[in-house]
Amino acid sequence: MAQNPRAHSLAILGVAALLASCGVRKGAPDWIGADAAIVRCTVAGPNLSLPRLFDEVPSPAVPTGLYARTMDPIALDQLGYERDRAVCATLQAPDTAELDAAAEAIDELHTTRSELSRQARKLGRCLCSYADALDSRTIVPGCADQPTRLDCELESDQVAALSTLLAPLRAQLETTQVPRVHWRLSGRTDRIGRFVARYEDLLGRHPGGSEVYLRKTPLPPHAGMKLVSALLAIDHVVAVVRQDGGRAVLVVREIDDELILDHFAYPDWLSAGARGFDLELSALLPHLDDAQISRYRAALEPPTESRELMFEPRKGYMVELDRAGLERVDRGMVLAARFAGQHYDETKEVRVLPPLLIDRFAHQVPYGTEGTVLRVRTRLTDEGREWIAGAGDVAAFEALPGLGQADFTPQFTPASQAGAAQLFMLRGRPIEQSLFAGATGLPQVLMAIELAAPGSVEGEIDDFEVAVPSGPLPGELLSRPGLALLRERLSITPHELGVELVSGGRVLELELAPGE
């Protein structure tokens, strides 16, 4: 593609729009589940750095609460991962049935809490003092931020009445599973005990605040500590870290020669600019956690089915994105917003996309290429395979005109700009509009190159090469978001793009490298 920022983005967006399947190094495959929405693998090492090209293809960042920064090699080395070994982070996608159950339970929780509020007010002005007697101030509506009344006397019958009123809410807390964002960082370590010994050096990497609890740490009598205690009692757990005022928790495990970090976080509604956010609902989160310890234990288990990755992490820096998994993550954000008192009306959302041709996208910058080679694999859907097959067995430059939809531009307008819309990982993001929806734009970019310089496209439609010139890309094609750095790279130096249909026509593979 060439130097034109507009069309270069399409060329790479297309490069980034087509590929799919492979394996991991020792330790990693056991912890990368088939349902992972994102897999990001790099390597640990004190003298290594991430190649710029790796992050020129858009992908969501790992949370700062993993203390891994961008998963750059130096950060991973300081965490204690073995040098020159692959380390992988995964975003766990929630199960559809789990999300359906959460939607129903969240509505029931609000109904239960509203009824509690209505009935509790009948106990009079000393309600919050009665809540203090039951150590339940933060779950009684209207009491979380109220000062203690010194002129109240505890009436045993009133305290007992409040306890009875609270029973339905406590029961509902046990079954209301508010969707969390669950990232896992896994890899081999040769420095067992390093996290416990050096964690103070890492805490500055997370700006939201961290409270570290080790096995022998005295636990304060606060909501959320029941969960911390239970997690510390699990085999191989060496530390539990509460972050962001209790909104997130990090579980650190050392299992034989593996270092596993699991980061669970409820969405940061306030940073997302949420309107109508109920702070009292946020105060329920530690109580939810204490009531659902079994949920955390289950989430810490190894996946029942391992992921067959499209690239081998031991061969280069890689990211793999699963569209269905990301859709479920975004749905979880909508449901979590509902818990927080926000209503994101999906019927008012405008989301227009081309036909779904690929459902999994991966890219890798191989080791030993000095960070100049980009490989992409995309798994084609049934419609995607028909899309390619429809071109027939002809030369690429003859088939390309019939494959593109240059006049189609993905559109996304959220139902509201604040709140859930700021937390989406797929909807309206560059990975959706430039990667998953980019396949239909690539053919027109390649044809523009061929028309400007006949002979640039050589080969059959299932295996061809393109000489991508530097400078502005021919044609008037608009670029898509998230690819400015790639466009800039292409504008400076001529490149060669190889495109091949592999895995029995199920995967489209691309390789972009500097031209000779």
**Which pLDDT does position 23 carry in this prediction?**
34
User: Could you tell me if 472 and 491 are in contact, meaning their C-beta atoms sit under 8 angstroms apart?
Assistant: yes
Q: What are phi and psi of 403, to 5 degrees?
A: -100, -20
Q: Characterise 504 by phi-psi region: left (phi > 0), alpha (psi -120 to 50), beta (else).
A: left
Structure tokens at 265: 């976080």
Cα separation, 37 vs 326, in Å, equals: 5
Centroid of chain to Cα 170:
31
- Round the CA-based radius of gyration of the chain to a whole number and report it: 26
pLDDT confidence tier of residue 2, bands split at 50, 70 and 90: very low
Structure tokens at 246: 């209790």
User: Could you tell me if 305 and 240 are in contact, meaning their C-beta atoms sit under 8 angstroms apart?
Assistant: no
Please state the length of the chain.
Answer: 516
Would you call 136 helix, strand, or coil by DSSP? coil
**Which pLDDT does position 443 carry in this prediction?**
87
Would you call 345 helix, strand, or coil by DSSP? coil
pLDDT confidence tier of residue 391, bands split at 50, 70 and 90: confident
In the predicted model, is pLDDT for residue 386 greater than 70?
yes
Structure tokens at 447: 């044809």
pLDDT digits (tens, 9 = 90+) for 336-384: 988 988 888 999 999 999 889 999 999 999 999 999 999 999 999 999 9
Would you call 187 helix, strand, or coil by DSSP? strand
User: Could you tell me if 340 and 281 are in contact, meaning their C-beta atoms sit under 8 angstroms apart?
Assistant: yes
pLDDT digits (tens, 9 = 90+) for 427-473: 999 999 999 988 878 888 898 899 989 999 999 999 999 999 998 77
H or E stretch including 430? helix 430-430
In the predicted model, is pLDDT for residue 275 greater than 50?
yes
**Which pLDDT does position 5 carry in this prediction?**
39
Cα separation, 233 vs 297, in Å, equals: 11
**Which pLDDT does position 493 carry in this prediction?**
93
Structure tokens at 408: 């189609």
pLDDT digits (tens, 9 = 90+) for 212-242: 999 999 999 889 999 999 999 999 999 999 9
Q: Measured between alpha carbons, how far apart are the two ends of the chain, in Å? A: 15
pLDDT digits (tens, 9 = 90+) for 184-214: 999 999 999 999 999 999 999 999 999 999 9
Structure tokens at 399: 């088939």
In the predicted model, is pLDDT for residue 19 greater than 70?
no
Cα separation, 138 vs 91, in Å, equals: 31
Which is nearest to 9 in space by CA: 436, 411, 441, 450? 441
- Which residue is it, tokens 């604040």? 418
